[in-house]
Amino acid sequence: MSVLKEPLATPSRVRGIYRYLLQIKGQREKRQVLEQILSPNKLVEHLLSAEDKLNGKKAPHIMFRRTLNESIKCGLLIDNNDEICINPNLPEEARNPQLGDNLLPNTLATLFFASGNTDEEDFAYVCTWFLAQDIYDFSGNWKVVEEMVVNQGVAESLELKMSNNTLSGQMDDWICYIGLAWGHALDGKKVTVPDPTLYIKRNLKDLFQKTSWYKNYSSEILLTG
């Protein structure tokens, strides 16, 4: 299962766990402690029935646990004997307490789209298809997206089965967070625009740092700016 199909694993929840671990000593915490800090019982007790509360049952921390599982599965975090830590194999800047949060969209994009990450293939397919669309065709309505997918014949070939609002909502949340699209309201309706400008701006230096064209162009900007 990918972040596309796990509606409880939202960008804000993944970010919340990562931001906490970035700042603590050793960037690691016991799973149970981490759960109680970020998802205290008071926040989830509304999930229990009155009878369950009388019987002393504890509410499940579903949102936290599923988000944590996705974070571990994609390689952002590691579970080492019930101790959760930031993956030490991530780039040094991504693990930097001052830089890691701002770099998280890039870090996740790299992990999601890694060639060996078969779990996120469906999300990669969705992003690729989405960026190939006409920006004027998107209304923000999942039924319209579903019709487009079916009419273009990619529902089966690319497994882009946008069959409900949850899938479409996850697509919108994650594709905007990574920087491959942006959202706004038009006539009171949410519209998501395919546009990788933000992602490209964040990565422009890395994309062109090895080319003489970029170096020369940068020099011209500095001289004329």
Facing residues of 184 across strands? 191
123 and 87: one domain?
Answer: no
77 and 122: one domain?
Answer: no
74 and 127: one domain?
Answer: no
Q: 48 versus 119: which is more confidently predicted? A: 119
**Residue 224 clears pLDDT 60, i.e. is over it:** no
The residue range of the domain holding 46 is: 11-93
As for how many domains the chain has, the answer is 2
Q: 55 versus 101: which is more confidently predicted? A: 101
Q: What is the pLDDT of residue 157?
A: 65
Q: What is the pLDDT of residue 1?
A: 64
71 and 27: one domain?
Answer: yes
d(CA 64, CA 84) in angstroms, rounded, equals 13
89 and 126: one domain?
Answer: no
Q: 47 versus 124: which is more confidently predicted? A: 124
Q: What is the pLDDT of residue 214?
A: 40
pLDDT tens digit sequence for 96-126: 999 999 999 999 999 999 888 888 888 888 8
**Residue 27 clears pLDDT 90, i.e. is over it:** yes
18 and 75: one domain?
Answer: yes
138 and 175: one domain?
Answer: yes
28 and 87: one domain?
Answer: yes
**Residue 176 within any structural domain of the chain:** yes
**Residue 212 clears pLDDT 50, i.e. is over it:** no
Q: Per-residue DSSP letters for the chain?
A: --TTT-TT--HHHHHHHHHHHHHSGGGEEEHHHHHHHHS-HHHHGGGS-HHHHHTTPPPP-HHHHHHHHHHHHTTSEEEETTEEEE-TTS-TGGG-TTTHHHHHHHHHHHHHT-TT-GGGHHHHHHHHHHHTS-GGG--S-HHHHHHHHHHTTHHHHS-----SHHHHHHHHHHHHHHTSEEEEEETTEEEEEE--HHHHHHHHHHHHTT-HHHHHHHHHHHHH-
36 and 75: one domain?
Answer: yes
**Residue 112 within any structural domain of the chain:** no
Residues, the chain: 225
**Residue 21 within any structural domain of the chain:** yes
pLDDT tens digit sequence for 131-166: 888 877 666 567 777 788 888 887 776 666 666 667
Question: What percentage of the chain has pLDDT greater than the value 90?
Answer: 40
Q: Give the global pTM.
A: 0.82
83 and 131: one domain?
Answer: no
d(CA 59, CA 94) in angstroms, rounded, equals 34
**Residue 100 within any structural domain of the chain:** no
d(CA 135, CA 137) in angstroms, rounded, equals 6
Kindly state the average pLDDT of the residues 47-76.
Answer: 76
First to last CA, the chain: 48
**Residue 105 within any structural domain of the chain:** no
CATH number at residue 63: 1.10.10
**Residue 224 within any structural domain of the chain:** no
81 and 155: one domain?
Answer: no
d(CA 17, CA 34) in angstroms, rounded, equals 8
- Mean pLDDT, the chain, as a whole number? 81
128 and 187: one domain?
Answer: yes
Q: What is the pLDDT of residue 147?
A: 80
